[in-house]
Homo-oligomer: A and B are copies of this chain.
Amino acid sequence: MRRPTIADIARAAGVSKGAVSYALNGRPGVSEATRGRILAIAEELGWAPSSAARALSDGRAGAVGLVVARPADVLGIEPFFMRLISGIQSELAGGPTALTFQMAGDLAAETATYRRWAAERRVDGVLLVDLRVRDPRVDLLTGLALPAVVIGGPDGVGALPCVWSDDAAAVREVVHYLVALGHRRLTRVAGPPEFAHTAARSAAFAEVARELGLERAETVHADYSVEDGARVTRRLLAAVPRPTALLYDNDLMAVAGLGVAQEMGVAVPAELSVVGWDDSALCRLVRPALTTVSRDVVRHGAEAARMLLAAVAGGPVPSRRAPAAALRPRGSTGPLERP
Contact = CB atoms under 8 A, between A and B. Distances in A.
A3 interface: yes
Contact of A72 (B47, B83, B284): B83
B98 A99 contact: no
B3 A77 contact: no
Interface residues of A, number: 56
Contact of A52 (B56, B100, B109, B286): B56
A116 B48 CA distance: 8
A86 B72 contact: yes
B116 A63 contact: no
Interface in A81-121: 81-83, 85-86, 89, 93, 98-103, 109, 116, 119-121
Interface string A40-58: 0000001111111101100
A30 interface: no
A298 B72 contact: yes
A51 B281 CA distance: 39
Contacts of A225: 281
Nearest to A1: B145
Given A102-B99, A120-B49, A285-B256, A86 B79 contact: no
Contacts of A298: 72
Nearest to A81: B82
A121 B50 contact: yes
A46 B121 CA distance: 13
A326 interface: no
Nearest to A229: B285
A66 B315 CA distance: 31
A61 interface: yes
A280 interface: yes
Contact of A99 (B100, B116, B263, B281): B100
A210 interface: no
A122 interface: yes
A255 interface: yes
Interface in A205-238: 225-226
17 contacts: A3-B119, A50-B121, A51-B121, A62-B122, A73-B281, A75-B86, A77-B79, A77-B281, A78-B82, A82-B82, A85-B103, A93-B102, A98-B102, A98-B122, A100-B101, A101-B101, A226-B281
Given A52-B55, A77-B82, A100-B100, 18 more contacts: A46-B119, A48-B116, A49-B120, A51-B121, A52-B52, A52-B53, A52-B56, A75-B82, A76-B82, A77-B77, A77-B280, A77-B282, A86-B103, A93-B102, A98-B102, A101-B101, A226-B281, A263-B287
